[in-house]
Amino acid sequence: MANIIQKKHPTKFKIAKCRYPPNVFDVFAVIHQMFVTSITEILPQVLYRHAVVFGIKPDAVGRKICVISNHCCIFALKRRIMKTANSVNLKWLKIFHLFAAILWIGCGIAMNLLRVTITPTTPEGMFTLSLAIKILDDLLIFGGVIGIILTAIVYGAWTKWGFFKQHWLTVKWILTIVMVLIGWIIMGPAVKGNVHEIDWYMVNQDVYNRNLAVSAIWGPIQLLLLAVVVIISVFKPWKTKGKQA
């Protein structure tokens, strides 16, 4: 059995018995009771003695402080409940994060395979290939990138990992930003630049081949960076001492 403090008099406390070991709520209830009693009973007595100096009503002050204290108690309890719920929601967050990563990596592989394995010789074939790559880029890869960024922000803001607590997290953020910039500034225009009316391919085959060459260079680089990010996520190197998450 363990001892806890229980109120007996407005300004005095006695020792009472409780179960052992006491849980968090037992300890919190005792601390809260001591705080409320001290604030709502001792402070008004002091204010009564100095009412003329302060020019206020001590009873009203005591009641307001008691209300504030009770609100703090409720807030702390809600915070504890949210913390427990977050341990469950963290699994769903990880699922969405992994699903977004699968979209990004899988569609990146698909785009490179389409470009390597299919070599159309007709304008219709060029249009079909370019349109298929653009659909993968605009819908699935874009959705994967947005999902990765949003879930990463949630990880950083509302979980123990934070944004830059560990060096490997910082490296992941840097690589992710680099990949987004590559896709936005270099690969995006090359992919979109190959989708036109069928007549366009008859007179602009040089531009078409140039855009394919850009994708052929930067596409594998993107996949390599994605692989590096996955490896970093699994092994978590460069951990900072004293900040183990």
- Residue-wise pLDDT for 96-143, tens only, equals 999 999 999 999 999 999 999 999 999 999 999 999 999 999 999 999
Q: Is the confidence at residue 41, as pLDDT, over 90?
A: no
Q: Is the separation of the CB atoms in 41 and 11 below 8 Å? A: yes
pLDDT of res. 40: 53
The beta strands (E) that lie in the chain are given as 2-9, 12-18
| Local structure of residue 9 (DSSP, 8 states) | E
86 dihedral zone (left: phi>0; alpha: psi -120 to 50; beta) = alpha
Q: Is the separation of the CB atoms in 11 and 40 below 8 Å? A: no
- pLDDT, tens digit, 9 for 90 and up, residues 180-228: 999 999 999 999 999 999 999 999 999 999 999 999 999 999 999 999 9
User: Quick one: average pLDDT of 14-38?
Assistant: 49
User: DSSP per residue over 27-88, as a string?
Assistant: HHHHHHHHHHHIIIIIHHHHHHHTHHHH-S-HHHHHHHHHHHHHHHHHHHHHHHHHHHHHHH
User: Quick one: average pLDDT of 75-87?
Assistant: 50
Q: Is the confidence at residue 234, as pLDDT, over 70?
A: yes
Q: Is the confidence at residue 56, as pLDDT, over 60?
A: no
pLDDT of res. 3: 44
- The SS3 call for residue 4 is strand
Average predicted confidence (pLDDT) for the chain: 76
**Angstrom distance (rounded) from CA 243 to CA 245:** 6
- pLDDT, tens digit, 9 for 90 and up, residues 164-182: 888 999 999 999 999 999 9
Which pairs from 21-29 meet CB under 8 Å and 24+ separation? 24/80, 28/73, 28/76
pLDDT of res. 171: 94
Q: Is the confidence at residue 24, as pLDDT, over 80?
A: no
Domain borders along the chain are 2-82, 87-235
Q: Is the separation of the CB atoms in 44 and 62 below 8 Å? A: yes
Q: Is the confidence at residue 91, as pLDDT, over 70?
A: yes
pLDDT of res. 134: 95
Q: Is the confidence at residue 33, as pLDDT, over 50?
A: yes
Does residue 34 or residue 95 have the better pLDDT?
A: 95
Q: Could you check whether the bond before residue 21 is cis, i.e. omega within 30 degrees of 0?
A: yes
